[in-house]
């Protein structure tokens, strides 16, 4: 399924199967896969979230900021 992510103000069209996490499609590669380490933390619509716990489709058309 094709979705559009708005990452740091840039629109990106990505192919995201329903089980793919936001970390998967952003290429963040979670270190812990359960959100405990915080390495995959991004800001979605102004709120910090663990990208390894959020489905990519949940981030579609919402502003996403990658700290760093």
- pLDDT tens for each residue of 1-54: 999 999 999 999 999 998 999 999 999 876 788 999 999 999 999 999 999 999
Query: Quick one: the chain helix, strand, coil %, rounded to 5?
Result: 15, 35, 50
List, in order of start, the domains of the chain with CATH numbers. Answer: 2-65 (3.10.20.30)
DSSP state of 34: S
Q: Tell me the two tokens of residue 22.
A: 């936001």
Q: Residues 28, 68: contact at Cβ < 8 Å?
A: no
- Read off the pTM: 0.89
Q: Residues 41, 23: contact at Cβ < 8 Å?
A: no
């Amino acid at each position: 399924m094709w979705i559009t992510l708005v990452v740091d103000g840039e629109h990106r069209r990505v192919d995201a199967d329903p089980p793919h996490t936001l970390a998967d499609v952003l290429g963040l590669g979670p270190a812990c896969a359960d959100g405990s380490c915080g390495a995959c933390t991004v800001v979605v619509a102004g709120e910090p979230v663990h990208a390894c716990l959020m489905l990519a489709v949940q981030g579609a058309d919402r502003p996403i900021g990658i700290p760093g």
